[in-house]
A and B are shown apart, each in its own frame.
Chain A
Amino acid sequence: MEIPGDRRYTTEHEWLRAEGAEAVIGITEYAQDELGDVVFVQLPSIGSRVSAGAAFGEIESVKTVSELFAPAGGEVIAVNEVLTEHPELVNDSPYDTGWMVRIRLDDPAAVNSLLDAGAYRTTLPPGS
């Protein structure tokens, strides 16, 4: 299962890719696989604030509805509007076109405390 090395992860299966003082957030390949076909993604409004570990949105699949947890705190500066019409992008391309929000980080250094790709892989069940 693909786990890119250019970003950080949480045990809740979100990824965060820092770009200077900003960061893009999405969910992992493992997460989309466990959820099944994604039918709806509810994202925060631009300008709202997210805090590390708190829910910032919801993702609904044919099986269930799960909360999305923010890996780091900050202000939402962009959301992936394409997901409104094409939630399946989360399944097709979780690390790229299926991204969810872009935030301005409160504390860019805090990103370093998140899991790297190797550490995240150890949290997944063997064989995934």
Chain B
Amino acid sequence: MVADGGSAHPYIPNTEADRALMLARLGLQSSEDLFAALPAAYRDPKIDLLPALAEPELLRLMRARGAENRDASTRPSFLGAGAYHRSVPSIVPYLVSRSEFMTAYTPYQPEISQGTLQTAFEYQSVVCELTGLDVSNTGLYDDATATAEACLLAARATGRTAVALLEPLHPGTVDVVRTYAYGANIRVDVITSLDTVYADHACVVVQQPDFLGTIVDIEVIADAAHAQGALCVVMANPFALGMLRAPGEAGADVVTGEGRDLAGPVAFGGPSVGLFAAREQYLRQMPGRIVGRTKKLRGSHGGEPRTGYVLTLQAREQFIRRERATSNVSTGQSLVALAFTITVQALGPRGLREAAVLCYQRAHEAAVRIAALPGYEVPERGPWFQEFLLRGPLPASELLARLAARGITGGLDLSDRREEAARDAFLCCVTEATPPEHIDALVEALAAIGDER
């Protein structure tokens, strides 16, 4: 139905009369004149579109297109490298879908939303237990930005202007740290040995397990950092911490991590939640928001004292301190943080450990089977958790292409890595959520590709 006054489109309320009025005010003849600054060739390019469809036809088309998508639960996928397919309990999507929780934001009048603050406090408690550190904030955007913030914290705390990133570290994290460091005038040294940690480094950043999957001895790195007066920042996989020593107990000063995998399915790499925890001495240097638990002197209608939750240490945030704020992070990822919290709490410490051990065993069983195939090897770099290097009879890119042709996502091509163990290899990931029949399919496909030669 066309609205009175000649609206050209049912969802665009401007009438012809409205448009004529606006054009007259602007002194233009037609709306085309608004785009006169663009070269004519780019103004109305020919786009090869199907004829417009009626709504029911359009829905049918889009459903058919959507059904062509493949995800990690149906297509065998061994791609990890920072985003991992996990078994998330079914209660998680159910609980986080409650309308009280359905916002990405920390509330602007926070103390009125006691439930929201309580879930954030529980999130912090979970992060402190996993990392073995004293204080956690309510979450940052993702592991990469959390790690960059950790570098800024280290620079503030030490008064130094350089950071050392220990390889193998996720290349996305290296890029994000470089971006943050550029504005803060911090030098970024990407190092391959602890011999190049110097007394002008504010921190040493290490990934646990490292980017190529190997479990790192944090204590050795923390000692080397501390010997130079630098902080030890660990970007840890929180799921792996279910069975590994807490980095805080091994000497880490700040621990960051990625909580997305324990919150929901891997979806184009997000949305994420960046874990951030530190020793208490760095409390006032921490970015983001912190929820504290306190006691109300009286209930809202008098009566007994009761527990209350508040945002604390607010004075360091940018809305009070402006340009001298500790950090300019303003929004967290509350809903993802909540989903992460529910998963960890639903599993419990023992369940998380059992799931991590299952992941470890399943990955190692798969690696043993693959290494037994003629022409294949799994280069060892020490103990590893869920990802291993895989070198076959063909270059990695060719191997991955042939697996893809068989409907299998084999992993991440590592041809741009400089580590000797990664030469001609790709990074293969098996988790507790990888179905056994997908592992069978991978082993059979690799064997068949080996025989083709």
Query: Which 10 pairs from chain A and chain B are nearest by CB?
Result: A65-B315, A60-B315, A65-B321, A64-B315, A64-B320, A65-B316, A40-B284, A63-B315, A65-B320, A61-B315
Identify the A interface with B (CB < 8 A).
39-40, 42, 60-65, 67
B280 CB to closest chain A CB, in angstroms?
12
| A-chain residues with CB within 8 Å of residue B320 when the two chains form the complex | 63-65
Can you offer 19 A-B residue contacts whose CB atoms are under 8 A? A39-B315, A40-B284, A42-B284, A60-B284, A60-B315, A60-B316, A61-B315, A62-B315, A63-B315, A63-B320, A64-B315, A64-B320, A64-B321, A65-B315, A65-B316, A65-B320, A65-B321, A65-B324, A67-B324
Q: CA A39 – CA B320 in complex, angstroms?
A: 15
Q: CA A62 – CA B310 in complex, angstroms?
A: 13
In the complex, which residue of chain A has the Cβ closest to the Cβ of B326?
A65
Q: Mark B257-298, 1 if CB is under 8 A from A, else 0.
A: 000000000000000000000000000100000000000000
Q: How large, as a class, is the contact surface on chain B? A: under 10
Q: CA A98 – CA B315 in complex, angstroms?
A: 21
Q: CA A6 – CA B311 in complex, angstroms?
A: 42
| B-chain residues with CB within 8 Å of residue A65 when the two chains form the complex | 315-316, 320-321, 324
In chain B, positions 304-326 with a C-beta closer than 8 Å to chain A are: 315-316, 320-321, 324
Q: CA A42 – CA B316 in complex, angstroms?
A: 13
| B-chain residues with CB within 8 Å of residue A40 when the two chains form the complex | 284
Q: Mark B180-217, 1 if CB is under 8 A from A, else 0.
A: 00000000000000000000000000000000000000
| A-chain residues with CB within 8 Å of residue B321 when the two chains form the complex | 64-65
Q: CA A39 – CA B315 in complex, angstroms?
A: 10
Q: Mark B321-348, 1 if CB is under 8 A from A, else 0.
A: 1001000000000000000000000000
B157 CB to closest chain A CB, in angstroms?
11
Q: CA A25 – CA B33 in complex, angstroms?
A: 68
Instruction: Given contact pairs A39-B315, A40-B284, A62-B315, enumerate 10 new A-B contacts (beta carbons under 8 Å).
Output: A42-B284, A60-B284, A60-B316, A63-B315, A63-B320, A64-B315, A64-B320, A64-B321, A65-B320, A65-B324
